Structure 1
Amino acid sequence: MAGNSPRSPVNADIRDPSLADGGRDRIEWAWSEMPVLRQLHDRFLAERPLEGLRVSGCLHITTETANLARVLQAGGAEVVLCASNPLSTQDDVAAALVRDFRIPVHAIRGEDTDTYYRHIGAALDHRPQVTLDDGADLVSELHKGRPELLEGVVGGTEETTTGVVRLRAMAREGALRYPIVAVNDALTKHLFDNRYGTGQSALDGVIRATNILLAGRTFTVVGYGWCGRGLALRARGHGAHVVVCEVDPLRALEAAMDGYRVMPLRLAAAQSDFMVTVTGDKHAIDRSHFEVMKDGCVLANAGHFNVELNLEALAAMAVERHCPRPAVEEFRLSDGRRIRVLSEGRLVNLAAAEGHPAAVMDMSFSNQALSVAWLARRGSDLAPGVHRVPEAIDREVAELKLAAMDMGIDTLTEEQRDYLSSWREGT
């Protein structure tokens, strides 16, 4: 498997190999919830579309990612993984990937910044022909620190909104040197993963971290993209009074029409019991908001990077800090107000919970697997830049998911197809 003989050691840096039994059980539990990936596994095993392809993935090391890796491996790829967030690694999963699937993993939950980037360097030492990224850190490091490896890269994929934004910025500046498929933009990814996955898993993280009742509380969602839509919907389902803060007038209007209160963030900060950022931008919650924030407000981030909260400003304002619960840090200000930050401002759904449910990641990672196979065939023909997932892949994932759910749909008749392609017939 993956170029390793059964007796050869796997080059890895993980916390504890003895955790592998529990990790394998949880990987198999997720596998049972990922029917599309299971179908692709059988197809890849038979067709071997990735034979000998070196793949480096900078992803959240979770049970779902493990199942993506086993599908790529079944297709013949030589896979190496590192973490895309210091707090998202599930150490038992990393151990099982190394022991049972012989996939080199360089990831430890809670690793410091130097270790995080050393692990990215280890993934680049694999000399990848295809990169898998979640946030574009691997691509960024490849371009900035290891440009000599770029010539051998056929293409890559990007999983999340923040990464796509960074990659498009690179492309605009002419810095991006190879084609990358924006998996995040596939309809079967962002309409489902972002809305239903983030909506459920971010709230799961908030609830696990705090054990505070949401019903009757004011819950502010900062950013009303697809993740924000899902988060607001689920918070309302828990009985919270939901406020939305936005900078885009169209999204703000949509939130208002969806039944939420819309207001400037400074006004929301003064009355919110919970505030969760999902903007993808820097310092969405800043010093001016801390200055008026309600006592006891819980802050969390469900965007990719922890820069969405200006934690340096909050630390400078605090006269006392302590951790009343494992994933909670409380900052006491000079006037006695307390502001509670979850999971160091990192992705709350992965740092305080388990991330998206496997059933929704089934679609996201099926897009990943099929896009990698597409790049293996077509990557050398593509220009450097950010490319959409081919529509045929998006539709295939939807069709496979519907079939797995035992649901069917209708097809157009020839008469209906002719009507839709013609301009002559009217009233």
Structure 2
Amino acid sequence: MPGLMKMREMYSESKPLKGARIAGCLHMTLQTAVLIETLTALGAEVQWSSCNIFSTQDHAAAAIAKTGVPVYAWKGETDEEYIWCIEQTIYFSDGKPLNMILDDGGDLTNLVHTKHTELLKGIKGISEETTTGVHNLYKMKADGTLKVPAINVNDSVTKSKFDNLYGCRESLIDGIKRATDVMIAGKVAVVAGYGDVGKGCAQALRGFGARVIITEIDPINALQAAME
């Protein structure tokens, strides 16, 4: 958040994103609301959908909608509504299409590449925020189907080594407690994978007294788990 606020302070007058029509497909939370406000402050036109049918914070979506930014997201969407919401972000109110994609998971990227191929030549770039979406991009590149330059945000050091590890370490227990209200001490927890996310989750569960079992196909990560 401090970084976003600093960006506003530095660039809100020069508007470096003027002319950008950004379609975002990212969890519609309070934190994302700050990102959206920053993008618009820097001159971009923005439309938004959520990358998960359950993650939207409706009050955050409503607050952004009140600022005039079109938001197509609500908590508890059906699968059909989810696709509909993403499709609404492709064309802006003046009839012009998106020219930048901010994606999480690859659903917007895939939709444009499969159903709106006529727009690909006008898209300046894609940023992908999560591991699943990055794997999708690498697969598309290998297949020769990726037609737009893409930035792998997920593997940047500040994402993979901080958000994936420390963010998940904090949010996992909070989510489990809110959803189940169970005591974790004494439970047996299985963590699938021991990458940065898995490491953070395992640390959190151990810290609350769970006995943690790791499943992992990578021999180095598996050895790290054994050493822990």
TM range (shorter): over 0.9
Aligned partner (choices 95, 104, 110) of residue 76 of structure 2: 110
- Letter of the 1:38 partner, please give it: M
- 1:166-190 alpha-carbon deviations (Å, 9 max, x no partner): 1110010010001110111110111
Gaps of 5+ in 1: 1-33, 259-427
Given the alignment of the two structures, is residue 199 of structure 1 paired with residue 165 of structure 2, yes or no?
no
* Other structure's SS at 2:183 match: coil
The answer (yes or no) to whether the contact 1:50–1:75 under 8 Å persists in 2 is yes
CA distance in 1, matches of 2:39, 2:224: 39
Aligned partner (choices 14, 17, 26) of residue 50 of structure 1: 17
Gaps of 5+ in 2: none
The answer (yes or no) to whether the contact 2:24–2:47 under 8 Å persists in 1 is yes
Aligned partner (choices 41, 60, 81) of residue 93 of structure 1: 60
The answer (yes or no) to whether the contact 1:88–1:109 under 8 Å persists in 2 is yes
Per-residue deviation at 1:218? Answer: 1.3
Aligned partner (choices 161, 186, 191) of residue 221 of structure 1: 191
CA distance in 2, matches of 1:61, 1:189: 18
Aligned partner (choices 101, 119, 128) of residue 85 of structure 2: 119
- Letter of the 1:205 partner, please give it: G
Identity of matched residues, %:
44
What is the aligned length?
Answer: 224
CA distance in 2, matches of 1:95, 1:241: 41
- 1:236-277 alpha-carbon deviations (Å, 9 max, x no partner): 11111111111111111011112xxxxxxxxxxxxxxxxxxx
Per-residue deviation at 1:44? Answer: 2.2
- 1:180-220 alpha-carbon deviations (Å, 9 max, x no partner): 10111110111010011112212211111111111122111
The answer (yes or no) to whether the contact 2:172–2:204 under 8 Å persists in 1 is no
- Letter of the 2:135 partner, please give it: V
CA distance in 1, matches of 2:179, 2:37: 31
Per-residue deviation at 1:52? Answer: 2.2
- Letter of the 2:49 partner, please give it: C
The answer (yes or no) to whether the contact 1:57–1:81 under 8 Å persists in 2 is yes
Given the alignment of the two structures, is residue 255 of structure 1 paired with residue 225 of structure 2, yes or no?
yes
Aligned partner (choices 57, 60, 67) of residue 34 of structure 2: 67
Q: Which residue in the other structure is 1:132 paired with?
A: 102
CA distance in 2, matches of 1:125, 1:118: 13
The answer (yes or no) to whether the contact 1:44–1:71 under 8 Å persists in 2 is no
Q: Which residue in the other structure is 1:176 paired with?
A: 146
CA distance in 1, matches of 2:138, 2:98: 21
Q: Which residue in the other structure is 2:182 paired with?
A: 212
Per-residue deviation at 1:46? Answer: 2.4
CA distance in 1, matches of 2:198, 2:84: 33
The answer (yes or no) to whether the contact 1:57–1:79 under 8 Å persists in 2 is yes
Given the alignment of the two structures, is residue 190 of structure 1 paired with residue 156 of structure 2, yes or no?
no
If the length of structure 1 is used for normalisation, what is the TM-score? 0.52
- Letter of the 1:43 partner, please give it: M
CA distance in 1, matches of 2:40, 2:170: 30
After superposition, residues 253-292 of structure 1 pair within 5 angstroms as 253-258=223-228
State the structure with bigger RCO (CA 8 A, min sep 6), 1 or 2: 1
Q: Which residue in the other structure is 1:83 paired with?
A: 50
- Letter of the 2:61 partner, please give it: A
Given the alignment of the two structures, is residue 240 of structure 1 paired with residue 192 of structure 2, yes or no?
no
- 1:333-384 alpha-carbon deviations (Å, 9 max, x no partner): xxxxxxxxxxxxxxxxxxxxxxxxxxxxxxxxxxxxxxxxxxxxxxxxxxxx
Q: Which has the larger radius of gyration?
A: 1
If the length of structure 2 is used for normalisation, what is the TM-score? 0.96
Per-residue deviation at 1:47? Answer: 2.2
Q: Which stretch shifts more, 43-52 or 132-141? A: 43-52
The answer (yes or no) to whether the contact 1:216–1:240 under 8 Å persists in 2 is yes
CA RMSD of aligned residues (A): 0.9
- 1:7-50 alpha-carbon deviations (Å, 9 max, x no partner): xxxxxxxxxxxxxxxxxxxxxxxxxxx21111011112022110
- Letter of the 2:81 partner, please give it: T
CA distance in 2, matches of 1:202, 1:128: 34
CA distance in 2, matches of 1:85, 1:52: 28
Per-residue deviation at 1:129? Answer: 0.9
